[in-house]
C-alpha cells in the first residue's frame, strides 16, 4: 500500500542574480514498510527533499501526499498536528531534550498529543533497541549511539506513517553507524515501519530495500519501483 507520494515537487529560491532550483520536479512513490536510502552529492537536494516530505518547509510547486492527505493543502496549524501524528524524525544531532530522561524523551510525542502509552508496544521498542537499562538515564550520560537509539525510539512510539532520518550516522563512528542503520532496518521489518534515510555513505545505502538517487534537484534513479 502506498504511504507517500510526491508529484512535480519543486523548491525554487530566487536571488537578485540567479534562480536556484533546489528541487526540480520530484516524483517519488513509497510503499508501506519500505526502508529507503536517499543519496546524492552535496547540494543535490536530498536534505531539501526530506524537509519537504516532513512538512518542515513548503514547496514552490507540486504535491506531497502522506496517508492520502496532501500536506500542501494544510494551514500551519493543521500541518503541525498532522506532522506530530504521522511523521517521525531522526536527526544527525539526536535533538533529545537534555532535561528529560530516556523514557521521557521517548514518550514526549505522545504527551504532546495528549495520548497515553501503549505499554506493550513501548516495551517492544525498548527491547528491540536495547534501552531497558537506560530508561532513567539523562541524555548527557549516554554515548552517541545510545542517544541515537533513543531518537529512533521516540520516532517509532507514535507509529507514524513514515520516519525521516537525515544523516543519522553523521556523528557516529563507522561501527556504531552501521549498528544504528541495522536497528532502523530491523525496526522497519519488526514494526512494518516506513523509513527514508538521507545518507552520503554508499555502504549504508546498500543496506536499504531501495535507493533513490537525487542529482541537481531531480530523481536520477529509484523514484518508483520497477
Q: Can you give the residue ranges of every domain in the chain?
A: 2-221
Residue-wise pLDDT for 179-214, tens only, equals 888 888 888 888 889 999 999 888 889 999 999 999
> Is the predicted pLDDT of residue 224 greater than 70, yes or no?
no
> Is the predicted pLDDT of residue 20 greater than 80, yes or no?
yes
Collapsing DSSP to helix, strand or coil, 115 comes out as coil
Residue-wise pLDDT for 27-77, tens only, equals 999 999 999 999 998 889 999 999 999 999 999 999 999 999 999 999 999
Residue-wise pLDDT for 169-183, tens only, equals 888 888 888 888 888
- CATH 3.40.50.300 is right for the domain spanning 2-221: yes
pLDDT band at 226 (very low <50, low <70, confident <90, very high): very low
Give the per-residue pLDDT at 223. 67
Give the per-residue pLDDT at 39. 94
The grid coordinates of residue 57 equal 518547509
Under 8 Å between Cβ of 111 and 167: no
Q: CA 211, CA 213: separation in Å to the nearest integer?
A: 6
Contacts of 51 (CB under 8 A, 6+ apart): 57
| Nearest Cα to Cα of residue 217 among 5, 55, 28, 40 | 40
> Is the predicted pLDDT of residue 19 greater than 70, yes or no?
yes
Collapsing DSSP to helix, strand or coil, 186 comes out as helix
pLDDT band at 225 (very low <50, low <70, confident <90, very high): very low
Residue-wise pLDDT for 105-158, tens only, equals 999 988 888 888 888 999 989 988 889 999 999 999 999 999 999 999 999 998
Under 8 Å between Cβ of 101 and 137: yes
Q: What is the DSSP letter of 134?
A: G
Give the per-residue pLDDT at 183. 85
What integer best gives the mean pLDDT of the chain? 91
Amino acid at each position: 500500500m502506498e504511504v507517500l507520494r510526491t508529484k512535480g515537487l519543486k523548491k525554487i529560491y530566487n536571488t537578485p542574480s540567479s534562480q536556484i532550483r533546489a528541487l526540480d520536479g520530484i516524483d517519488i512513490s513509497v510503499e508501506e514498510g519500505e526502508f529507503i536510502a536517499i543519496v546524492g552529492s552535496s547540494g543535490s537536494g536530498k536534505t531539501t527533499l526530506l524537509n519537504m516530505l516532513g512538512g518542515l518547509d513548503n514547496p514552490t510547486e507540486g504535491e506531497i501526499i502522506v496517508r492520502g492527505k496532501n500536506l500542501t493543502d494544510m494551514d500551519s496549524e493543521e500541518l503541525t498536528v498532522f506532522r506530530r501524528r504521522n511523521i517521525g524524525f531522526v536527526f544527525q544531532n539526536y535533538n533529545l531534550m537534555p532535561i528529560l530522561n530516556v523514557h521521557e524523551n521517548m514518550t514526549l510525542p505522545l504527551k504532546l498529543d495528549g495520548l497515553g502509552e501503549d505499554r506493550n508496544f513501548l516495551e517492544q521498542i525498548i527491547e528491540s533497541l536495547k534501552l531497558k537499562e537506560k530508561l532513567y538515564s539523562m541524555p548527557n550520560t549516554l554515548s552517541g549511539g545510545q542517544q541515537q537509539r533513543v531518537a529512533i525510539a521516540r520516532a517509532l512510539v507514535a507509529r507514524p506513517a513514515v520516519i525521516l532520518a537525515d544523516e543519522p550516522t553523521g556523528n557516529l563512528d563507522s561501527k556504531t553507524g552501521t549498528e544504528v542503520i541495522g536497528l532502523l532496518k530491523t525496526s522497519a521489518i519488526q514494526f512494518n515501519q516506513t523509513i527514508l534515510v538521507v545518507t552520503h555513505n554508499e555502504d549504508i545505502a546498500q543496506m536499504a530495500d531501495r535507493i533513490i538517487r537525487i542529482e541537481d534537484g531531480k530523481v536520477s534513479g529509484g523514484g518508483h519501483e520497477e
